[in-house]
Copies of this chain bind each other. A is one copy, B any other.
Amino acid sequence: MAGVNPRLTTTTYAILGQLGWGEQTTYELVKAMGRNLRFIWPRAESRIYEEARRLVSSGLATAREGRSGRRRRTTYAITEEGRQALRNWLAGEPEGIALEHGPLLRILLGRQARPEDLLAAVRVAREHAEKMLAVGAPLAQEYLDGRHAQQQEVHLRSLTFDYLYRWALFNRDWADRTEAELRRWRDTEPGAAKHRRALQRIRDAVNHGLPPARAA
């Protein structure tokens, strides 16, 4: 019965990986997904219930029915077969990278927009960055103080932290630069000065991301 897996997805393995850190109730899984995977593999909470059932029906996890008051509560635990499946998955071909970036899309299509519409898009990007920083800063302190719940995994987690925290800074910087440009616009029409600054912006980016060249 176990092993006849009806096509497990990356999301399934993401849940399975969470269970690798110890047994969890569904609610704990939901919260853990929010903490750990929100920024690298975002999924709706409701998905988790379905995936957990799938793990059980594939023999990769066990479900223990419990009670809290009159409500049922399910606790999941990974099985030995589950660990093996996790190892196999990790040994296979990695998934790629996909970015969906609403603000960039709106700017690219922004010819019919007003400058304030594009500023609103930039604001969304900035808020996203600020939220990541607000999550990341206290997290960093926990690691540095040695009191994070997964402290013994910090050699791995520091690698993802490195990416995410710096990406947040990256997004904020872009929002700063872009907002400064858009604030100079009265409309979204082309123009000679805009064109000149645009080419300089492209040069700056290609020149290895150095800060804008200052004419001394």
Contacts and interface: CB of A to CB of B under 8 A. Distances in A.
Nearest to A166: B209
A12 B124 CA distance: 21
Interface string A93-118: 11111111111111111111110010
Given A140-B206, A158-B202, A103 B109 contact: no
B202 A162 contact: yes
Contacts of A195: 154-155
Interface string A144-186: 1000000011111111111111110111001001100100000
B202 A144 contact: yes
A92 B141 CA distance: 38
B162 A101 contact: no
Given A10-B105, A91-B114, 15 more contacts: A40-B108, A83-B112, A90-B106, A90-B114, A94-B124, A107-B160, A144-B203, A154-B199, A158-B201, A159-B178, A159-B201, A162-B174, A162-B201, A163-B174, A170-B170
